[in-house]
Amino acid sequence: MRIHILGICGTFMGGLALLARAMGHEVSGSDANVYPPMSTQLEAAGIQLMTGYAPDHLQPAPDCVVVGNAMSRGNPAVEYMLDAGLRYASGPQWLADHVLQGRWVLAVAGTHGKTGTASLLAWILEDAGLAPGFLIGGVPENFGVSARLGDTPFFVVEADEYDTAFFDKRSKFVHYRPRTLILNNLEFDHADIFEDLKMIQRQFHHLVRTVPGSGLIIAPAGAEAMDEMLAMGCWTPLERFSVDDSSVQWRPGNVTPAGEAFDLWVEGRMAGRAAWGLSGRHNISNALAAIAAARHAGVPPQQAIRALSSFHNVKRRMELRGEVEGVRVFDDFAHHPTAIETTLSGLRARVGYGTRIVAILEPRSNTMRMGVLASRLPEALALADEVLVYSPENLKWNAAEVFAPMGKRAAVFDDVAAIVSRVAATARAGDQLLVMSNGGFEGIHQRLLDALTSTGVVSHG
């Protein structure tokens, strides 16, 4: 089959392209911006990439056009596709029909933690010899690729609640029909497509409706929005996890201050002690969910615990990009106040209160740019000693007003170069620079490292 993918350089669509190529299909694709690392990964797999959305990219006609959810009416390739009567499908639908059909799908859904939990689950299954396939919205360091077809029935998929395509406004995850479903959490997000929390809960309940009675749903305890959604109807066995509630099936005990080691308790019995390279309560929560899902696929908790010690986190999830004279620069894919708060909490627990944390924020996601959750940002960033905020022209709220309650601890900039200059002039040995954005942030990570290298760093104190 000849397949052409519109929007091929997105993480999901690029992963889909790799799966299609691994199945023996001839794959090509178009995108507005074709650049590394995704372009390099795709070209290495023998996939032809084209810049822009010209109609002649679809000539001669492919057997199927797979349409990314960033495509809209008015796009030249989309209009040609419709006028020519070409066969087309959304990415999630193509995945469901050609990859997931007949497989044991383990899906990871939730507002936060999907990528990390899905990566952890895939690694636990891999370490146990189950050789799963996967499609994840990031690059797990243990695998080095965002997608793999796999050699067994097991397939781990990051189940996103964002809409499917311009012609299918259901959430992507309703297509996946998992046997094992992790529901990490549920909050309001994606204000560009959801009017309120109830709309998101309705989509999550559509997902719950697709899980068979012989399957398993794994959900957190004490999450009000999640409980409201499940109360709409649940026909599948349910297991709960929590870092706080001792009455649930899956919980930790004897947690170290930073969370880099903990005991695992399963149904009232201690299964073993986990020690790994991650920190923070949110990561322990993700681990509980992943271990529970792996048990459903046949991996004993004791074996899953051992896999944690060799797990490496996903790129752009508290990824250390470099260190200059004791100043460390981290990259984190922050897109929501809750994610910002949990990331900062984990870093603070790791370094303590005697070390400065400088948070550098680009409010780039649609929800962040719209300002729906802007009022929560100062509280989410409270654990940082200093907050530097980039306010681009397309920001629909006044960043200076929002961060005014933080006083001199916060500063707002309309130029990335000014942020780099500020950091280079004030950084001290031992500082932790936490860069938070779901985009490239104009290459600020390397620019910070270069500036620190050229100017030097003030000694601590």
What are the domain boundaries of the chain? 2-91, 102-308, 319-455
pLDDT exceeds 90 at position 265: yes
Which pLDDT band, with edges at 50, 70 and 90, does 402 fall under? confident
Lowest mean pLDDT among 117-131, 155-169, 172-186, 380-394: 380-394
Percent over 70 (pLDDT), the chain: 95
Rounded to whole angstroms, the Cα distance separating 56 from 174 reads 33
Nearest alpha-carbon partner for 141 in 113, 120, 111: 120
HSE toward the beta carbon, residue 313, CA cutoff 13 A: 21
Q: Which residue has the higher pLDDT, 344 or 27?
A: 27
Instruction: Tell me which CATH homologous superfamily contains domain 2-91.
Output: NAD(P)-binding Rossmann-like Domain (3.40.50.720)
Nearest alpha-carbon partner for 350 in 283, 290, 406: 283
CATH topology of domain 102-308: UDP-N-acetylmuramoyl-L-alanine:D-glutamate ligase (3.40.1190)
Rounded to whole angstroms, the Cα distance separating 343 from 228 reads 26
pLDDT exceeds 70 at position 411: yes
List 108's β-bridge partners, or say none.
158, 182
Rounded to whole angstroms, the Cα distance separating 56 from 40 reads 23
The C-alpha angle 107, 314, 103, rounded to 5 degrees, equals 25
Percent over 90 (pLDDT), the chain: 56
pLDDT in the model for residue 459 = 54
pLDDT in the model for residue 36 = 67
Strand runs labelled E in 243-347: 250-253, 261-266, 269-275, 319-324, 327-332
Flag whether the pTM goes above 0.85: no
Q: What is the pLDDT of residues 370-379, one digit of tens each?
A: 777 788 888 8
Mean pLDDT, all residues of the chain: 90
Instruction: Tell me which CATH homologous superfamily contains domain 319-455.
Output: Mur ligase, C-terminal domain (3.90.190.20)
